[in-house]
Amino acid sequence: SRATTAHPPGEKVSGGRPRPTAIFFAGASNLTRKHLNEAFEAKGLSGLVDVEHLTKDELLCIFASTEAASAALQGLEAGYEDVELGEGEGPGLWRLRHGMLNFRLATTDDVKPQREAQEAREASKAESTMRLRINGDAVEVSRAKACDR
């Protein structure tokens, strides 16, 4: 089996409580729910309810039940050698077939980084204030700041 559950160099190893209805993926940049659905359906697995992108490269697949997530994880660990090579195979299935996605049972530590989200909001706010300073007078800037809070 070319599937890998090992942690790539530099990946944080989660120590939180298991989330039995979710699978964590690393190396998943630019993958969508459609790509992941294709990969699970190729193995006859179902129950995928949602895909939550944590970072540019990491995501969670949320399943309808613990049983569905467990079956999906077992299917992933078994590899994709038993799945026939299809014409127009999507990137999710291709990466899984070639061992380019790392996966494991998700934990409570697998969440979006709060600091990055906060920094993005602050940068956006600072940019709009700078635009106002360039384009408006001091009274307009103070009014805009009051509205922005």
pLDDT tens-digit map of 96-117 = 988 999 999 999 999 888 766 6
Q: Which residues contact 49 (CB under 8 A, 6 or more apart)?
A: 62, 63, 64
Instruction: Work out the average pLDDT over 38-50.
Output: 90
Distance CA 142, CA 9 (A): 48
DSSP conformation class of 48? E
Strand 102-107 to strand 58-63: parallel, antiparallel, or no bridges (unpaired)? unpaired
Give, in order, the Cα–Cα distances in Å from 14 to each of 11, 99, 115, 136, 147: 9, 21, 18, 48, 40
Q: Other CB atoms closer than 10 Å to residue 61's CB: what's the count?
A: 27
**pLDDT of 6 higher than 50:** no
Encode pLDDT of 64-95 as tens digits.
999 999 999 999 999 888 888 877 788 999 99
Q: Is the pTM of this model over 0.85?
A: no
